[in-house]
Each structure stands twice: as C-alpha cells, then as structure tokens.
Chain A
Amino acid sequence: MQPGDDRRARLWLLGAFLGGIMLHLSQLPPWITLGALLCAAWCLAGIVGRVPLPGKRLRGALVAGLTIGVLAAFHTLNGLAAGTALLALMGAMKLLETRTRRDGYIVVAVALCLLLAACLGNQDLPHAPLYLVQAWLCVTALAATAHPQAAAHTRRLASLSARSLLLALPLAMAMFLLFPRLTGGFWSVGASRVSTGLSDSMSPGSISELGESSDPVFRVWFQGPPPPPQERYWRGPVLHEFDGYTWRRTPGLQYPAEQLDYTGAVYHYRVRLEPDTGPWWLALDTIRSTDAAGATITPDRQLVARHPVHDPVTYDAVSYTFTRSTDRLNHLTQLLDTALPPRRNPRSVRLAQQLRAAAPDAHAFVTRVLDLFRHGGFSYTLTPPLLDLNSVDDFLFNTRQGFCGHFASAFVTLMRAGGLPARVVTGYQGGEWNPLGGYLLVRRSDAHAWAEIWLQGQGWVRVDPTAVVAPERLRRGALDVLPDAGSASERLMYEITWLNRLHQGWDAANAWWSTRLVGYDFHAQSRLLQALGLSARSWQQLGALLTAALGLWLLAVTLSFNRLPRARPHRLARAYALLCARLGSAGFARRPDEGPVTYARSLATAPQAFGAAARQLLERYARLRFGADTPTEAELEQFERDVRGLRLARRSSRR
C-alpha cells in the first residue's frame, strides 16, 4: 500500500463522515456540530499537513468530556436526538485515531448510522437525493479503504462503488417489499413536532392564521370524478359553544345522534393526511362510513382520531353530499345549539328577534338573514379589523369586514337568537385538482368555516354565509379571490401557468413518494403480495419469502462473480469444440486438461476406421492453432469441412 493511497482513503472517510454530519446540521446543537467539525479539521490536518493526532490520554479525556456534555444537553443518552449527537461526536473522535483499515470500516459504519438516523427523522422526497449521495459516499469510502490502490483512481473507485450499490439494489428492493412491516409507530421515534391544524376553538382571526400557509394538509383520490368545487366541504371540528367571542366544543361531551337518510351523490375516496394535523381527520361532508382503524365518526359527523398520531395516515371513506332527517331534534342538542351567552351581542340578538318576528317561517327567516349579508355592505377580506368582545355586534354593525369565520359566527348567532338550532362547522373548503397525480390537494389556506342549521323536516342543513358575500371564494379558492392571500412566491406560482404545472408535478411526485414509498405499510404490503398471487398473512411467511429472495440474490451475485469475461470463441475453436463433441459422442471424450496431442494419443484405442482420421485432424488443429503461421481462410474451411465429414464408428459397435 502506498502511503499516498492510504491518505486518499482517509480523505474519503473524512468526506463520508462529514456528509453524515451535514444531514443532521439542522437538528444537532451547534456546539456538537462545531466539535465534530473541529475533530474533522484536525484529522484533515493530520492527513494533509502531517500534524500529529492526539495521544491516548487526550482522546480518553475528550471522550469522557463529550459524553458528559451530551448528557448535560439532553439529560439522557437514549433516544434519537441524544443518540445522534453522541454518534456524531464519537465518530469524530474515531477520525482522530483512524490508522488501520479496521478503523476505517468503523468510521464508515458510523457514517452509515448517521444516515440511518437521518432517515428515521425525515423521509420526505427532497431529502432522498441527499441520502443517496451520502450512501454513495459511504460506499466509496468503504471501497477506498478496502482497496487503497484503487483510491488513486477516482473514476475506478466511483465505478466500483456505483457497481456495489447497483448490486445491492435488488437486495434493497427485496427487503423493502418483503421485510415484515411493523404496524406500530416505531419509525416515528423522532417525531415531536407541534400539531398545526384545525383546533377545537375558533375566535375571530384564528382561521386566517391557517390561511397564510399553503402547506398541504391532505390529498384525496376519488373513485370516479371528484365532486364539483361547491360541494367540496371537508368537515372538521363542529363547534357548539359560544361565549360571545370564541366558539368551542367541549371535549368529551357526547351529543346524541340523529337518524339520517343519506341521499345525493355518493363519493368513494381515499384520504392521505399529512402528519401532525391534529386529531381531526378530514372527510367530505357528510361522511357515512370509513375503514380508518384509528378514528371514529362522532354523532355530529366528524372523523376523530382515538389517539394522537404523528405519522401520515391513509384511510378510505364513503360520503354523501346530502342528508335529511325527519326526526325531531333531541332535547339536549336543541338546548345546546340554541344557547347564547347572556348579555353579549345584544344588538345582534335584538336584530335577529325582529327579523324572526317579521318572517312567516324558518325558511323566510334564513333568507332574510342571508339577504342582510348580501346587501348589508359586507366585504370579504383576510385582514379584517380587530373586533371587541361583543364580536358579532362589532362585526355586524361596525366593521363589516371579515372572512368565513366572522360570517359563520355571526350567522349562527343570529340563527340561535331567532330560535333555530345552529352550529359552526370548521374544516376545509375546495382543494386544488392535480391532473398529473389525479388527486385533490387541500392546503392550510383552504381552511373554512360555515354554519349548519336545523330545519324541522329536513334535518341539519349546511348554510355557508361566506358564499353569499364572496361566491367566488367557493369556486376558486382564497388565492384567486384575494390579492393579499398567500406569499408573493405563492401568488407568482399561481399566476404563471407553467410554473403552476411544475409545482403540481412536484407535488404529485411528493404525494407518490409519501404514499407509495414511505406509506408502504403492512396493508399495502399485503395488497401487493396478493396482487402478485402470494399471500403472506404472517410475518413468518414474509420471512420465508424474504429468505428465498435473499438466496436468489446471493446465487445471482455468485454466478456473476464467477463468470470470467470470455471472448467470442474463435472460428477454429468452434470447429475444434465440434470435433471434440463428435469424438466424445463416439466414446472418446476429451478431458479438459488434455491438449490436442495428448488427446490424439488417447485415441490409440479407437477403431482404425476413424482413429487415424481423427488423429490427423487433431494434429492439424494443433498446427493451425498453435503454429507460427496464421491459418488461411481456405485451411479453416477445409478443416471445418473435414471435422463435419469425419465418419464415426460407435465404440459400442466395435465391441
């Protein structure tokens, strides 16, 4: 091994380790990154400038100090964050004592573990190329360590590692497809993000916070065509209680269920919810059934998770766009959904009572209130003025500017004041159809609030007062209606068609990645295996399948290694092979280690009829093949002809 080669191999090791650190740059505490980089710099100085590396005592002290530092920072050595920090530091320390090939392997293993930790923390598509590059770096460092003489030729090294990765690809695919999937949340060790979705309360302004973000919330794949934009109401928390300013739902309070008849268009669809969207799983209004195992349908038709889930969730559901109920509203709901806070919003209450008194029936009352919104000088904006504690009064009589939350809140208040049971429903409205992925993408900016009122003989009826004030909001979404919705870059994206298409393509790729690859769970695995005609019901059967795949892979790799590169056989060699085969069929097979002359001698026992001719042919072959003169075309042809023309007498016929 040349010392130069060794240095190059160590540079590759350094690169692989630094790549591992880079993957955790945003997660690691700065002092740990700094410490690891300092060790790496020392190692680099040792390689390039031949600066002496620290001695045993200093290394021991450093290791102890750094371990205590990690303990102090995380209060534990367990868990992904503390483990990663410790791994980064210890890997950096290992760089300082990397002398032998074995040390090199350990550094590569540390770099690979860092990669694994990064994968545990984040599995989205933009990170995938980084992980690939890091994997390639690690394999290259491994190759450079194992073959220091190849380290001098970067191209050879690169092809060596690329070949190794390619060779590993089928194995990785088999492991991915067949490795028994854990159904628990093992992979979400690192997830500790704040849930940023709908909440169980709504005060003026809370929904506009959601409206500022265009992060995706969920994607929906429909069986058949998607519903028209005005039917795309995604039902979230239903809010019943009002204190004059904030709408809430009482957690744990069970409302009695009404008997519903489902009518109208039916939609079968699959929802994939992004992680950390809170306990409300979204469903098209009104949901009838779902296969979501971790969630239940409440009496007020919300889909609520039983336990908080930090993973992406996928579920199928069936919804109808229209329901009716001919029952009487039960007493408790009647009580709760007509309740108003005493002495709050007195002007609104008075107005509602006047309108109700003037209207012959409930329908006329609703129409009058909606007319009020339509012609009362209200305008839709995402940046309304702040409201005082009597928020409905302030909104209806002073500011008259607001968005869905204001309108829904005011409308429900007026309904309740007029004696009609009403409630606020929050959720999302609309969604962007992605023609490339064939799904509907709903973003945080699609958050919406609307109202439901109880009409005797019809049941709960959805009324969206926002639709009266800003009908375009329903058809085209907030970004289109309001010039100030969304950030400048989002607006730019929205207004330039091809950029929008690009964005949609990227989103479709992301969706594919997160549903098909990251979201490949036990159910998806069973579905795939069933489609392939294999039914693996248990992890034992999966293990057997995996072992079989592994065996096949090993066999293929062994065979491909054993196959020596062979040139196309020479014409003469083909004729000779034919001669040997023909003689072999007559009972005089050639041993592989026999040359032509030895072979000819072994034909001594052959019958005279062909023995002499065969010997003569073999001698001719020896002359043509090993002689000084290149055989002419004519000689070759003659030889081929004579080989074909050789008359064989079977050995058996001789006896």
Chain B
Amino acid sequence: MNGARAEPLSQVVAALDTIIIGKPQQVRLCLACLLARGHLLIEDVPGVGKTTLAHGLARVLGLSWQRVQFTSDLLPADIIGVPIFDRATQQFQFRQGPLFTQLLLADEVNRASPRTQSALLEAMEERQVSVERATLKLPEPFFVIATQNPHEQLGTFELPESQLDRFLMRVSLGYPDTQAERRLLAGREPRELLDTLPAVLDAGALLHMQNEVRDVHRAGPLLDYLQQLVAHTRARTDLKLGLSPRAGLGLMRAAPAYAYLDGRHAVLPEDVQAVLPAVATHRLQRRDAVPESGRSIAAELLRAVPVPT
C-alpha cells in the first residue's frame, strides 16, 4: 500500500534485527510504540538486551538520547535539572538535566524512590516540566524507554498501577531461542555492532511518520471490536479492574502504528490483536493476584471476543 513510506521503516527493522537477534515481534512493537507517541517499558531479567535495544532504537531513529541509571538516591533534580547561580549575570540559570532529550533511557526505573519516579512520569505525561514557576517544554519528539527487572525485589519501588498506565506498552524480550542464541554467540557482540548502526531516520522524519500514523483509517467494525474487547475486561469478575478509557485510547493509537509499520493505511483486527498483549498486559491484574498473569489474560481476552465480520 504505502511501500515508499514504509521503506525507511523496514530498514529500521532490519538494522535492529541485527543487534536484537530472533525478536522481530518485540522490535516491531517497540517501534510501533514510538510511532504512536507512547512511552515504552521494557521489563525483563538482566542480560537479554534491554539496554541494547534502547540504544539501538535511539541510534537508528537518529535521535538525541540520554541515559539515566535509576538508583534509590536519585533525586528529581538529578533528571530534571537545577537552577544554578551564575556569578557573571548575578542570576539563577536553569541547568537542564538529562530529561531534556529526545529519547531518555531510564534504566531500572523501579529502583528510584517514588518521588523521583513520579517526577519522571509526570514529565512523560505532560511532555513539559515546571521549574520555578516557569514551564519548560520538552523536545519533540520525546520518548522515555524505561527498563525494569521484575524479579529484583529488594530495594525496589514497584510502579503503582496509575504510573504503569502512563506507559503505552510494556514489552518483555525473553530468552532467545536456540537458533537465535547460536547466531548471537557466533556473531559479533551486539554492543560493538551498535556503533556501526546507521541512522536511518531523524527527528523530522519520525515526527512526519507519527503524523501519518494518526491518519491511518479505523473502520467502524474495528472500533466495535475494540469496544467489545474493553467491555469484556470490564465485565469479567475475576479481574481487579477493567481496561480504562486511557487504555482503550492507547490501543487505538498503538494498532494504527502497527498497521503503519506493516505498510498498510488501514487498521485490521490483527493489528489490535498484535498490540493488545503489550498494551493491556500491565493494566490488568487478576483478583487472586497471580504474578505475571497479564499475558494469559490477554490471550484469554483475544480468544473470548469474536472478531467482527
């Protein structure tokens, strides 16, 4: 459909596939998330390539980026910035923190104190920060890719539901399969490859694509499907909460981005199905609180709701 436009994107996907081996679906989801102007949470055990993926994305998309390693003593000022007294002008000057970048990699976000977390998450939602009565706009585009290790419990502050809701998607990478692992071991180390990655896009091209994603057609039956999916989560009694309208909107942003990645200009039910686990999983929890139950809920959800014809 839109072969010409999709061309650079397929190059992006191809480049990322060389550093994150055997995870094309996760790579596409991450890209879709960024195209949908959403923030991304990568959740996984250490060493599966979370940071590499984030680096790779920043590099291939041609964005300026900053990395902050979150620790328990990290303060909001450490990421937003501080006013510093300038002797020459006899005035306070605001020194921007690492937040003022196009792509922020927040490593191990769950290690920071709730205070710092909420400062970051507020900036994510508003895309601006308030310092000393002044409101400073963050650059365009602005993404946060946060990573967290779900199994590390000691000294972490789990993100509450309200803050998890700010992330459009939560993606897990998981271990590579045998073949992919073999290729990984046989090839060069991905970290080294990062430097060789070409910058396929730039900020302007990305903004343009984001605007195009907005125009991807969503047919009536598709909206029906989406509504039924959301309604189904609200009708189920075994879930703590159903999907919020924000989650529904998130689905409605992520699915067109996924279709766009596929080179289509119309959303299909399959697009919704593809993004649903990533978009809905971190927002759904069973009452009996089985950990990591979200993924199976998403599968149940997709099975339970028939595709409109």
Contact = CB atoms under 8 A, between A and B. Distances in A.
8 contacts: A573-B308, A580-B309, A592-B307, A595-B270, A622-B266, A622-B268, A626-B219, A627-B217
Contact of B266 (A580, A594, A595, A623): A623
A315 to B, nearest CB: 59
Contacts of B269: 595-596, 626
Nearest to A567: B224
B306 A596 contact: no
B305 interface: yes
Contacts of B302: 593
Residue of A593, A598, A622, A623 ringed by the most chain B CB atoms within 10 A:
A593
A50 to B, nearest CB: 35
Interface residues of A, number: 18
Contacts of B265: 627-628
B303 interface: yes
B172 interface: no
B51 to A, nearest CB: 33
A576 interface: yes
Majority secondary structure of chain A interface residues (helix, strand, loop or mixed): helix
Interface string B225-240: 0000000000000000
B219 A627 contact: yes
Given A627-B266, A628-B266, A595 B219 contact: no
Contact of B217 (A569, A596, A598, A626): A626
Interface in A611-633: 622-623, 625-628
B217 A595 contact: no
Contacts, number: 50
6 closest Cβ contacts across the A-B interface?
A595-B269, A628-B217, A592-B306, A626-B219, A595-B270, A627-B266
Interface in B204-224: 217, 219, 221-222
Interface string B258-290: 000000011111100100000000000000000
A595 B224 CA distance: 13
Contacts of B308: 573
Interface string A573-598: 10011001000000000001111111
Interface residues of B, number: 19
B268 A597 contact: yes
B306 A593 contact: yes
Nearest to B272: A595
Contacts of A577: 309
Interface of A: 569, 573, 576-577, 580, 592-598, 622-623, 625-628
Residue of B267, B268, B302, B303 ringed by the most chain A CB atoms within 10 A:
B268
A564 to B, nearest CB: 10
Residue of A573, A596, A623, A627 ringed by the most chain B CB atoms within 10 A:
A627
Contacts of B222: 626
A594 B217 contact: no
Given A625-B221, A627-B217, A576 B270 contact: no
B307 A626 contact: no
B267 A626 contact: yes
Contacts of A569: 309
Contacts of A622: 266, 268
Nearest to B269: A595
B266 to A, nearest CB: 5
Given A595-B268, A596-B269, 7 more contacts: A580-B309, A593-B303, A593-B306, A595-B269, A625-B219, A626-B217, A626-B269
